């Protein structure tokens, strides 16, 4: 009979085989979060409390949304500069069709590159404004792509800060060949809606 320990976002069995499998799955995200640069004791830190990431692709016959709530994230601020990292497993996106989701993972080389990550660096003074324009660096499908001055909306409620916006991604940005349905490919546009809630550590 397996026992379980609870960690943020789920649980892992204490059986050594279950633990090993769980840690292997979590390791890329843990390494990414630990890679947020901290040259000295940080002035402020925030952790991602909850998130919804939604990609949208369009075909003449239908539209598809894939949704993930599995992202982890951290913000580290030091000497007025903040580094933001959000990471999610590629296979965590759910479009409501398991065959489509499996094909998405294959098309984006998810087995080889299992994590999609978003990095942002901006001045701490930018926080507190209703709209923040961010320069993003996204790693996905083995490619690293930058997007400049993407607007995000910010709302603070008590100790929580909600930040949301849409990344104007394209399949071609990541060298992904558009999947086809009935020989007709989906559109190149793949906007990603980001909705996050942060709390101080």
What does the domain layout of the chain look like in residue ranges?
A: 1-34, 41-200
pTM of the prediction?
A: 0.78
Check residue 7 and give its pLDDT. Answer: 39
- What is 41-200's CATH topology? Lipocalin (2.40.128)
* Cβ neighbour number for residue 158 with a 10 Å cutoff: 6
SS3 162: strand
* Cβ neighbour number for residue 147 with a 10 Å cutoff: 15
Pairing verdict, β 180-181 and 160-167: unpaired
CA 125 centroid distance within chain? 24
DSSP 173-193: GGTPPPPEETTEEPPSB--EE
Which tokens go with 121? 């660096």
- pLDDT one-digit tens code per residue, 148-175: 999 999 999 999 999 999 999 999 999 9
Q: Are 43 and 77 in contact (CB under 8 A)?
A: yes
Q: Which segments of the chain have a pLDDT < 70?
A: 1-42
């Amino acid at each position: 009979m397996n026992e379980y320990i609870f960690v943020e976002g789920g649980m892992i069995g204490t059986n050594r085989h279950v633990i090993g499998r769980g840690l292997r799955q979590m390791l890329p995200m843990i390494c990414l979060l630990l890679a947020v640069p901290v040259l000295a004791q940080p002035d402020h830190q925030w952790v991602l409390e909850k998130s919804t990431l939604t990609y949208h692709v369009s075909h003449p016959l239908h539209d598809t949304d894939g949704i993930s709530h599995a992202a982890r994230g951290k913000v580290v601020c030091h000497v007025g500069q903040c580094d933001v990292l959000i990471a999610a497993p590629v296979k965590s996106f759910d479009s409501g069709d398991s065959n489509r989701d499996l094909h998405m993972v294959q098309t984006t080389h998810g087995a080889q590159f299992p994590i999609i990550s978003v990095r942002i660096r901006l001045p701490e003074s930018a926080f507190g404004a209703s709209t923040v324009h961010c320069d993003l660096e996204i790693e996905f499908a083995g490619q690293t792509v930058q997007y400049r001055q993407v607007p995000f909306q910010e709302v603070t409620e008590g100790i929580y800060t909600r930040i949301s916006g849409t990344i104007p991604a394209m399949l071609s940005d990541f060298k992904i060949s558009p999947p086809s349905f009935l020989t007709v490919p989906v559109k190149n546009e793949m906007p990603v809606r980001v909705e996050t809630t942060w709390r101080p550590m």
